[in-house]
C-alpha cells in the first residue's frame, strides 16, 4: 500500500513547465503573432520614409512586413485598429506606373487585396501602404509614415 501511495504522489506532483519550443522573438520590443510572425509596429510621431524604414528594419535583422495573404491582411488591419493607426508602410515598391509592385527580393507581391491598389496610377506613388480599412495603396517614398517590421524568427 505504501508503494502505491508513493507512486500516486509522484504522478500527481506538479511538473516543471517545459521549455517552450518554436518561434522566439528575441529582438527587444517585438511581438509574436501566429499570422504576422515576429513584428514591431513603429508609430512614433513623424514616422520614417520608406528607405529609412527599410534601413531601420534591417538593423534588427528584419525587413518591412510582407503581406502574404488575405488572412495576414486582416490580422494587420486588426492590429492597426487596436493601435489607432490609419496607415503603415509595408514591403512593396515599383519603379513606374507601368511596372508592378514587387517585394524586396524583386518578386511580385504575393497579395494586394481583392480590389485595385489605390493610387497606383500616380507616377510619384511608388511604395506600398496598408490602411486600417483593409486596402493596399501606393504612396510617396519620401513621405514619413508609421511602419511595420517583420523580424526573422529564431527557433530553438
Question: pLDDT, tens digit, for every residue of 85-116?
Answer: 999 999 999 988 888 889 999 999 999 988 88
Q: How far apart are CA 128 and CA 139, in angstroms?
A: 6
CATH topology of domain 35-155: Mannose-Binding Protein A; Chain A (3.10.100)
**Cell numbers 508513493 label which residue?**
6
Residue ranges per structural domain of the chain: 35-155
Give the C-alpha separation, 90 to 149, whole Å. Answer: 8
5-34: per-residue pLDDT in tens? 443 333 333 333 333 344 578 788 899 999
47-100 tens-digit pLDDT: 999 999 999 999 988 999 999 999 999 999 999 999 999 999 999 999 888 888
Residue 151 pLDDT greater than 60, yes or no: yes
Q: Are 93 and 50 in contact (CB under 8 A)?
A: yes
Neighbours of 22 (CB within 10 A): 8
pTM of the shown model: 0.80
Residue (of 20, 24, 18) closest to 155 by Cα position = 24
Amino acid at each position: 500500500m505504501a508503494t502505491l501511495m508513493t507512486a500516486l504522489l509522484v504522478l500527481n506532483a506538479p511538473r516543471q513547465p517545459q521549455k517552450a519550443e518554436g518561434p522566439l522573438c528575441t529582438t527587444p520590443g517585438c511581438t509574436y503573432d501566429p499570422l504576422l510572425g515576429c513584428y514591431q509596429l513603429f508609430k512614433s510621431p513623424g514616422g520614417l520614409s520608406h528607405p529609412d524604414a527599410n534601413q531601420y528594419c534591417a538593423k534588427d535583422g528584419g525587413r518591412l512586413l510582407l503581406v502574404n495573404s488575405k488572412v495576414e491582411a486582416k490580422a494587420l488591419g486588426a492590429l492597426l485598429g487596436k493601435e489607432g493607426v490609419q496607415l503603415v508602410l509595408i514591403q512593396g515598391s515599383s519603379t513606374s506606373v507601368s511596372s508592378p509592385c514587387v517585394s524586396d527580393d524583386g518578386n511580385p507581391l504575393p497579395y494586394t487585396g481583392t480590389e485595385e491598389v489605390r493610387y497606383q496610377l500616380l507616377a510619384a506613388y511608388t511604395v506600398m501602404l496598408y490602411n486600417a480599412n483593409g486596402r493596399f495603396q501606393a504612396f510617396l517614398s519620401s513621405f514619413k509614415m508609421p511602419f511595420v517590421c517583420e523580424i526573422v524568427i529564431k527557433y530553438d
